[in-house]
Amino acid sequence: MSKKDCKLILALDLPDADSAFAMLGRLKGNLSWVKIGLQMYVKYGADFVRKVADMGFKIFLDLKLYDIPNTVASAVESLKDLPISMLTVHAGGGSDMMKAAAEAAARTNPNLSILAVTVLTSFDDDSLKATGVALPAAEQVGLLARLAEKSGVGGLVCSPLEVESLRKIISPKMLLVTPGVRPSGSDKNEQKRVMTPASSARAGSDFIVVGRPILRAEDPSIAALSINSELKSALEE
């Protein structure tokens, strides 16, 4: 049984800034981490990130960067004044790109962890093959996870169903951040391969990312509170 911590991150996927701030106002006290993705960042930019941080939240900026190493390193440097704690890049961008991102973060923002996304869950073996990747998705995830670790990034974004096998091939120091989590009894939405907060924590996730089960709950703060207590009791068992 894993005894380490597993924290909740809210995926702040809302249509506009007003509804995001209203939601965060309701959740204050029951939530520490917020994931800001492309939808919000493209629309509202750095100021939005600063305002969320000013409310006391830690920020995971999910931009999934993928470009030549120099451009990705420059993008990471451009984020140096932003109060962010995690930032995503695509592991498929290769070792030099991940290394450049990790080095740029270490140089300009030592509190920032670079996380690598392995294979998007929207891919299956066939659609991966159509892009020229002959390995089955599960093997490609393992290959990219090892490459990411060797390249010096701080962790991975992965499905909770991959955590147990990834933990066997990567160091316990690598953070594993898992979306695709659904409290038992809640709507799965279009997520197909899900695990509960408790089983994700027991498998070894360091952070779970949850959006709609909180955002669409009748009382979002009760939903967050109950996920937090599920995580706590799973790790105390």
Per-residue contact string for residues 164-203; x = within reach of ligand C5P by CB under 6 A = ---------------xx--------x-x------------
Q: Minimum Å distance from CB 202 to ligand C5P?
A: 19
Map 18-31 to HEC letters. HHHHHHHHHHCCCC
- Candidates 65-73, 105-113, 209-217, 220-228; binding stretch for ligand C5P (CB under 6 A): 209-217
Would you name the residues annotated as active-site residues?
64
- Residue 3 CB, nearest approach to ligand C5P (Å): 26
Of 39 and 108, the one with the shorter C-beta distance to ligand C5P is: 39
Instruction: Give residue 64's region: left, alpha or beta (phi > 0; psi -120 to 50).
Output: left
Nearest alpha-carbon partner for 153 in 207, 87, 77, 201: 87
Residues listed for the chain:
237
Q: Which among 24-32, 145-153, 208-216, 223-231 is the span making contact with ligand C5P, rule CB under 6 A?
A: 208-216
Would you say the C-alpha torsion 120, 149, 145, 92 has a positive or negative sign?
positive
If the CB atoms of residues 24 and 209 are measured against ligand C5P, the closer one turns out to be 209
Within positions 10 to 69, which residues make up the interface with ligand C5P, using CB under 6 A?
11, 13, 37
Based on the shown chain and the rule CB under 6 A, indicate whether residue 210 belongs to the binding site for ligand C5P: yes
3-state secondary structure at position 93: helix
In whole angstroms, how close is the CB of 138 to ligand C5P at the nearest point? 14
Residue 82, Cβ density class (10 Å: 0-12 exposed, 13-18 middle, ≥19 buried): middle
Contact between 212 and ligand C5P (CB under 6 A)?
Answer: yes
Our finding on whether 128 is near ligand C5P (CB under 6 A) is: no
Q: Which range touches ligand C5P (CB under 6 A), out of 14-22, 26-34, 164-172, 204-212?
A: 204-212
SS3 state of residue 189: coil
Q: How many residues of this chain interact with ligand C5P, rule: CB under 6 A? A: 12
> Of the listed pieces 73-81, 91-99, 207-215, 228-236, which binds ligand C5P according to CB under 6 A?
207-215
CA distances from 102 to 36, 43, 137, 213, 228 (A): 20, 26, 25, 32, 30
Task: Using the minimum distance from each CB to ligand C5P, give the nearer residue, 97 or 158.
Answer: 158
Token pair 């900026």 is found at 61
Distance CA 159, CA 157 (A): 7
Give 196's Cβ-side CA count (13 Å radius): 15
CB 207 within 8 A of CB 179: no
Among 118, 121, 151, 200, binds ligand C5P (CB under 6 A): 121
Q: For residue 91, which of 38, 37, 33, 158 has the smallest C-alpha distance?
A: 158
Note the residues at the interface with ligand C5P (CB under 6 A).
11, 13, 37, 121, 179-180, 189, 191, 209-212
